[in-house]
C-alpha cells in the first residue's frame, strides 16, 4: 500500500505536532497578520498571493486598525479570531515575532509562516530570539515555515503563503521544490520552460520544521513525480535519510543542489543559516547511498528535473546522439568524457543501416554527424534517429542541435522528434548547445508533447548522466548485512575505547585484525637487542618506527624502512631512541604495493562514514578520497575504489603486478563493520598506509582519535 504522510514513522509528520505540517500546507483556514489593502505593501502582497492564487478556505485578515481588507472583515489580533486557524502568516518585523507567535500558540493555531530573519541584538543571560520562538512552537506542536524564508506556494492545493510576487497563473505539475535559497525559490517558479510545480517551499532556517519533514510530506503526495532540493545544510540528518528512503521506495527521484563545497562557501553558509554546511564528501556519500542525483548549478537542476519529469526510464546501454555539426559533436564528446557519460556501442547491423541512409562520405558512428548535402534533412534525421533507437545498446537518444527558428516548421528538427518519440518507449530528448538561441515556439511544441528540451551541452549531459545513474542505482541488489564480529570481541573493544586513553598504534593494529583487516606483524621493544630479536622472529627486512605516541611519525623523522640486517636495525634504533624515546615498533616490511589510506571518520551531522583515499605521506596534499556510509558489500567497496584517481595503479603499471582487488575490497567491507559497531566511540580511525599488493593488503600504520565518553553511546 502506498505510504502516506500519516504513516507510522513517516518523516512527513512533525514529531510534536502530529498533522501540523499537513494542516500548514493544506489549511482549511488562514490568518494573515499584517494584512493590508495598500497596493505595493507587504501586507497587500500577502493577501494578493493568497486570494488571487486560488485559495478557497476561510481567510481572516489581521490588522490593529483596519475594519476591512480586500472586502473581508479584519480582526485586530489573533485573539479576536472566531476560530483557531490552521495557518497564521506572520508578516511582522522581528520585534513582534515573539508576542504574535505566542498568541498563535495559545489560541491553538497549528502552524505559521515567518518571513522575518529572527535576529535581535544579543542580551546577556537572555536566549536568542530564534531559541525562544523555537520553544514556543515546539511546546505547542506547531509547524513553522521559516524563519528568514519566503514562505510556500502549494500550487496543487491552491495555497500561497508568500509575501513576495510570484506568477499568478502557475499550473500544477509534478515537481516539488524545497530550497534554502529564497532567490532560487522565486527564480524556479518564474522559469519559462514549462516546468510545473505541485509545491514550492522556501524552508528558511527551519526553526522547528526541517527539509526532512517537507521531503517526507512531498514524496507521500500522489502528484509528486520529482523533488528538487537546494540545500545549504541538513539539520535533521536521520530524518533526511528516512525521507530519502521513502522517496526510493516510492521511486520518486530526488535532485539535489548542495552548496558549500569549498571552505569559504562553508563559512558563508554557516554565517547565513546558523548551521554547519557539513563535509561535502559526506554529502556525496549520502547521494550514493540513497540514489540522489547531485547537480552543480540551477541550469543542471532544471535540465535534470525536466528530463525526469518526462517519466521515461533509460534502457540498457548508453547515449546515442545525432548531430548536424562535426564541431559540436566533438564538444559533446569532450563534455561527456568529463562527466562519465557512456555512449551506446552500436552494432554492425546499425552501422550498415546508417550507411544506407547517410550521404556519401559520412561515417556511420555514435555520436553521429548526419549533416551532408542538406537535401531532405527531415527524412534523413528521422531515419537516423529511428535506426539508433532500434539498436539494443541505446539507452537514451538525443538529437543534439541548436534549436533555432526554422522557416518550415514541418521540416524543422522539432518535427523530427515529434514523429520519432511516439514510436518508442525510450527517453528521447532535444539537447541544444546554445541556450540563448533556442526558439521558444519550437521548444514549446516539443515540451507540449512530453519531449524534454535540455538547454546546454554541460547541463544536458549532466541530466542524461543522472538518468543513467538512477537506472543503475535502482538495478543494484540490496546490500547484505555484513558478518559482525563476535559479540565478546565487540564488547571488549567498546569498553576499551570508552574507558580511554586513546590506544597506541600497536593496539590499533590488533583492533583492525580483530575486525578482519589484515595488520602487519610487529613487536614493540625498548632496546636494540630486543629489536634485533624481534626482527629475527618476524623475518627480514623490517621497518623500525618510534612508538612514542606520535600521530604523524614521518614529520618527526621517526621512520626507518627496509632494514635488512642486525647492524642496520641497531643503528636505526639508537637514532630513534636518542631523539624520540626508547620504545620503538619493529614490523615486517610489507610486500611492494600501492599505498592507500583507509579509515573511519565521524561526520558531525551523519555520524561514522568509511574513508578510502590515496595514502602515504602526501595524503593531505593529493586529496584523492572517497567516503561511503556503512554497511558496504563487495560491490559497494569496488565502486568506492573505482572512483579514486589512483585506481589505475591497482591494475599494475610499468611492469608492476596488479593488486589483489578482492582482498582490498574485503578490507574496506570490514572497516565498514568497525564503523557501524565502534564508530560512535571514535572521531577518526586512520590506516595509512594500507599497502595493497599482489598477494593481499596489509595495514602498516594506524591510529585512533577518540571521543569524549559523554558524547558516546552506551558500551
Do 254 and 473 contact (CB within 8 A), yes or no?
no
What is the spatial distance between Cα 483 and Cα 631, in angstroms, rounded to a whole number? 10
Q: Shortest CA distance to 237 belongs to which of 592, 585, 488, 608?
A: 608
Do 144 and 50 belong together in one domain?
Answer: yes
Q: What is the pLDDT of residues 606-643, one digit of tens each?
A: 999 999 999 886 666 678 899 999 999 999 999 999 99
Q: What is the pLDDT of residue 9?
A: 32
Average pLDDT rounded to a whole number, residues 303-307: 98
Cis bond before residue 261 (omega within 30° of 0) = no
Q: What is the pLDDT of residues 37-47, one digit of tens each?
A: 999 999 999 99
Do 518 and 700 contact (CB within 8 A), yes or no?
no
Interaxial angle between packed helices 377-390 and 413-420, expressed in degrees from 0 to 180 and rounded to the nearest 10: 40
Do 696 and 633 belong together in one domain?
Answer: yes
Would you call 194 helix, strand, or coil by DSSP?
coil
Residue 612 has which C-alpha cell? 578510502
Interaxial angle between packed helices 280-290 and 237-249, expressed in degrees from 0 to 180 and rounded to the nearest 10: 30
Quick one: how far is CA 128 from the chain centroid?
31
Q: What is the pLDDT of residues 495-514, one digit of tens each?
A: 999 998 899 889 999 999 99
What is the spatial distance between Cα 555 and Cα 559, in angstroms, rounded to a whole number? 9
Do 509 and 520 contact (CB within 8 A), yes or no?
yes
Q: What is the pLDDT of residue 411?
A: 58
Do 256 and 304 contact (CB within 8 A), yes or no?
no
Domain boundary among 574, 589, 604: 589
Domain boundary among 245, 264, 295: 295
Q: What is the pLDDT of residues 75-109, one digit of tens each?
A: 999 999 999 999 999 999 999 999 999 999 999 99
Residue 145 has which C-alpha cell? 515555515
Residue 382 has which C-alpha cell? 528521422
Does residue 338 lie in a domain region? yes
Q: Shortest CA distance to 46 belongs to which of 167, 191, 199, 160?
A: 160
HSE value, Cβ hemisphere, 13 Å, CA-based, for 631: 13
Q: What is the pLDDT of residues 226-246, one digit of tens each?
A: 999 999 999 999 999 999 999
Q: In the block, which residue shows the cell 574496506?
A: 668
CA–CA distance from 133 to each of 271, 510, 643, 651 (Å)?
Answer: 20, 51, 45, 58
Q: What is the pLDDT of residue 409?
A: 55
Do 656 and 601 belong together in one domain?
Answer: yes
Does residue 3 lie in a domain region? no
Please spell the DSSP secondary structure of 16-34, one letter per residue. Answer: TTBTHHHHHHS-SEEEEET
CATH number of the domain at 413, please: 3.40.50.261
Q: What is the pLDDT of residue 620?
A: 66
Q: What is the pLDDT of residues 323-370, one digit of tens each?
A: 999 999 999 999 999 999 999 999 999 999 999 999 998 999 999 999
Do 278 and 329 belong together in one domain?
Answer: no
Cis bond before residue 600 (omega within 30° of 0) = no
Whether 275 has a pLDDT exceeding 50, the answer reads: no
pTM as predicted: 0.90
Backbone angles phi, psi at 90, to 5 degrees: -100, 95
Would you call 74 helix, strand, or coil by DSSP?
coil
Does residue 8 lie in a domain region? no
Checking DSSP bridges between strand 559-563 and strand 542-546, what pairing results, if any? antiparallel
CA dihedral 380, 384, 390, 395 (to 10 degrees): -140
Do 358 and 323 contact (CB within 8 A), yes or no?
no
Cis bond before residue 631 (omega within 30° of 0) = yes
Do 528 and 654 belong together in one domain?
Answer: no
Do 260 and 342 belong together in one domain?
Answer: no
Cis bond before residue 367 (omega within 30° of 0) = yes
Does residue 487 lie in a domain region? no
CA–CA distance from 7 to each of 18, 27, 103, 218 (Å)?
Answer: 11, 20, 31, 13
Does residue 579 lie in a domain region? yes
Q: What is the pLDDT of residues 375-409, one digit of tens each?
A: 677 889 999 999 999 999 999 999 999 998 875 55
What is the spatial distance between Cα 133 and Cα 112, in angstroms, rounded to a whole number? 11
Do 311 and 437 contact (CB within 8 A), yes or no?
no
Chain mean pLDDT for the chain? 91
First to last CA, the chain: 39
The pairs formed by 434-440 with CB atoms below 8 angstroms and a separation of 24 or more are: 434/402, 435/299, 437/402, 437/403, 437/404, 438/402, 438/403, 438/404, 439/403, 439/404, 439/405, 439/406, 440/192
Q: What is the pLDDT of residue 234?
A: 94
Do 525 and 559 contact (CB within 8 A), yes or no?
no
Does residue 194 lie in a domain region? yes
Structural domain that includes position 638: 594-711
Do 33 and 161 belong together in one domain?
Answer: yes
Burial of residue 296 (number of CB atoms within 10 Å: 0-12, 13-18, 19+): middle
Q: What is the pLDDT of residues 12-22, one digit of tens each?
A: 333 333 489 99
For the chain, how many structural domains are there in total? 4
Q: Shortest CA distance to 428 belongs to which of 455, 457, 405, 449?
A: 449
Q: List CB contacts of 15: < 8 A, sequence separation 6 or more.
A: none
Confidence of residue 11 (pLDDT cuts 50, 70, 90): very low
Q: How many residues does the chain have?
A: 715
Does residue 288 lie in a domain region? yes
Do 578 and 599 belong together in one domain?
Answer: no
Burial of residue 540 (number of CB atoms within 10 Å: 0-12, 13-18, 19+): middle
Q: What is the pLDDT of residue 419?
A: 95
Do 664 and 697 belong together in one domain?
Answer: yes
Do 600 and 679 contact (CB within 8 A), yes or no?
yes
Q: What is the pLDDT of residue 407?
A: 55
Would you call 152 helix, strand, or coil by DSSP?
strand
What is the spatial distance between Cα 575 and Cα 269, in angstroms, rounded to a whole number? 49
Do 331 and 465 belong together in one domain?
Answer: yes
CATH number of the domain at 535, please: 3.30.1490.20
H/E segment holding residue 390: helix 377-390
Does residue 492 lie in a domain region? no
Do 340 and 429 belong together in one domain?
Answer: yes
What is the spatial distance between Cα 365 and Cα 347, in angstroms, rounded to a whole number? 10
Do 208 and 319 belong together in one domain?
Answer: no
Confidence of residue 563 (pLDDT cuts 50, 70, 90): very high
Whether 277 has a pLDDT exceeding 70, the answer reads: no
Domain boundary among 589, 619, 642: 589
What is the spatial distance between Cα 176 and Cα 228, in angstroms, rounded to a whole number? 6
Amino acid at each position: 500500500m502506498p505510504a502516506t504522510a500519516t504513516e507510522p514513522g513517516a518523516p512527513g509528520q512533525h514529531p510534536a505536532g502530529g498533522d501540523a505540517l499537513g494542516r500548514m500546507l493544506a489549511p482549511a483556514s488562514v490568518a494573515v497578520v499584517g494584512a493590508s489593502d495598500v497596493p505595493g505593501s507587504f501586507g497587500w502582497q500577502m493577501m494578493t498571493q493568497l486570494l488571487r492564487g486560488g485559495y478557497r478556505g476561510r481567510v481572516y485578515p489581521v490588522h490593529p486598525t483596519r475594519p476591512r481588507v480586500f472586502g473581508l472583515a479584519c480582526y485586530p489580533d489573533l485573539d479576536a479570531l472566531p476560530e483557531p486557524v490552521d495557518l497564521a502568516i506572520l508578516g511582522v518585523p522581528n520585534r513582534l515575532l515573539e508576542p504574535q507567535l505566542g498568541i498563535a500558540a495559545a489560541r491553538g493555531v497549528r502552524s505559521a509562516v515567518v518571513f522575518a530573519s529572527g535576529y535581535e541584538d544579543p542580551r546577556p543571560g537572555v536566549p536568542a530570539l530564534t531559541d525562544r520562538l523555537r520553544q514556543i512552537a515546539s511546546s505547542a506542536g506547531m509547524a513553522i515555515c521559516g524563519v528568514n524564508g519566503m514562505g510556500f506556494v502549494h500550487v496543487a492545493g491552491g495555497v500561497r503563503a508568500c509575501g513576495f510576487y510570484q506568477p499568478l497563473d502557475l499550473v500544477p505539475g509534478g515537481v516539488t521544490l524545497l530550497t534554502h535559497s529564497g532567490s532560487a525559490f522565486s527564480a524556479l517558479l518564474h522559469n519559462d520552460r514549462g516546468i510545473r510545480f505541485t509545491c514550492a517551499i522556501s524552508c528558511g532556517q527551519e526553526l522547528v520544521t526541517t527539509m526532512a519533514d517537507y521531503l517526507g510530506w512531498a514524496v507521500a503526495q500522489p502528484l509528486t513525480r520529482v523533488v528538487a532540493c537546494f540545500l545549504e545544510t541538513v539539520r535533521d540528518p536521520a530524518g533526511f535519510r528516512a525521507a530519502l528512503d521513502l522517496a526510493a521506495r516510492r521511486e520518486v527521484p530526488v535532485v539535489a543542489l548542495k552548496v558549500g563545497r569549498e571552505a569559504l562557501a562553508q563559512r558563508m553558509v554557516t554565517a547565513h543559516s546558523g548551521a554547519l554546511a557539513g563535509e561535502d564528501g559526506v554529502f556525496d556519500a549520502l547521494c550514493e547511498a540513497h540514489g540522489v542525483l547531485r547537480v552543480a548549478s540551477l541550469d543542471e537542476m532544471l535540465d535534470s528535473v525536466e528530463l525526469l519529469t518526462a517519466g521515461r526510464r533509460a534502457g540498457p546501454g548508453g547515449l546515442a546522439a545525432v548531430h548536424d555539426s562535426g564541431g559540436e559533436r566533438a564538444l559533446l564528446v569532450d563534455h561527456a568524457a568529463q562527466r562519465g557519460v557512456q555512449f551506446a556501442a552500436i552494432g554492425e547491423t546499425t552501422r550498415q543501416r546508417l550507411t544506407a541512409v547517410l550521404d556519401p562520405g559520412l561515417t556511420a558512428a555514435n555520436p553521429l554527424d548526419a549533416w551532408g548535402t542538406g537535401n531532405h534533412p527531415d527524412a534523413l534525421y528521422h531515419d537516423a534517429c529511428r535506426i539508433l533507437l532500434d539498436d539494443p545498446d541505446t539507452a537514451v537518444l538525443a538529437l543534439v542541435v541548436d534549436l533555432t527558428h526554422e522557416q518550415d516548421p514541418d521540416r524543422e528538427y522539432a518535427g523530427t522528434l515529434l514523429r520519432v518519440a511516439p514510436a518508442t518507449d525510450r527517453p528521447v530528448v532535444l539537447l541544444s548547445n546554445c541556450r540563448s538561441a533556442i526558439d521558444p515556439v519550437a521548444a514549446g511544441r516539443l515540451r507540449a508533447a512530453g519531449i524534454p528540451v535540455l538547454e546546454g551541452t554541460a547541463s544536458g549531459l549532466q541530466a542524461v548522466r543522472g538518468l543513467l545513474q538512477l537506472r543503475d542505482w535502482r538495478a543494484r541488489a540490496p546490500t547484505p548485512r555484513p558478518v559482525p564480529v563476535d559479540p565478546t570481541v565487540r564488547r571488549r573493544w567498546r569498553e576499551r575505547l570508552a574507558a580511554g586513553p586513546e590506544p597506541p598504534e600497536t593496539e590499533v593494529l590488533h583492533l583492525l585484525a580483530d575486525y578482519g583487516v589484515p595488520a602487519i606483524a610487529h613487536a614493540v621493544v625498548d632496546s636494540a637487542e630486543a629489536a634485533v630479536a624481534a626482527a629475527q622472529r618476524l623475518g627480514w627486512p623490517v621497518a623500525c618506527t618510534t612508538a612514542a605516541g606520535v600521530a604523524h611519525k614521518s614529520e618527526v623523522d621517526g621512520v626507518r624502512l627496509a632494514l635488512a640486517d642486525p647492524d642496520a636495525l641497531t643503528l636505526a634504533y639508537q637514532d630513534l631512541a636518542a631523539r624520540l624515546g626508547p620504545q620503538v615498533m619493529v614490523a615486517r616490511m610489507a610486500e611492494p604495493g600501492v599505498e592507500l589510506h583507509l579509515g573511519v571518520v565521524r561526520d558531525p551531522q551523519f555520524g561514522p562514514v568509511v574513508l578510502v583515499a590515496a595514502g602515504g605521506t602526501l595524503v593531505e596534499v593529493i586529496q584523492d578520497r572517497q567516503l561511503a556510509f556503512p554497511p558496504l558489500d563487495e560491490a559497494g567497496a569496488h565502486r568506492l575504489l573505482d572512483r579514486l584517481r589512483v585506481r589505475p595503479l591497482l591494475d599494475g603499471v610499468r611492469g608492476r603486478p596488479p593488486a589483489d582487488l578482492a582482498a582490498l575490497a574485503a578490507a574496506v567491507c570490514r572497516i565498514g563493520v568497525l564503523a557501524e559497531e565502534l564508530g560512535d566511540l571514535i572521531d577518526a580511525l586512520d590506516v595509512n598506509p594500507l599497502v595493497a599488493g599482489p598477494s593481499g593488503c596489509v595495514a602498516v600504520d594506524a591510529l585512533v582519535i577518540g571521543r569524549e565518553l559523554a558524547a558516546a553511546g552506551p558500551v
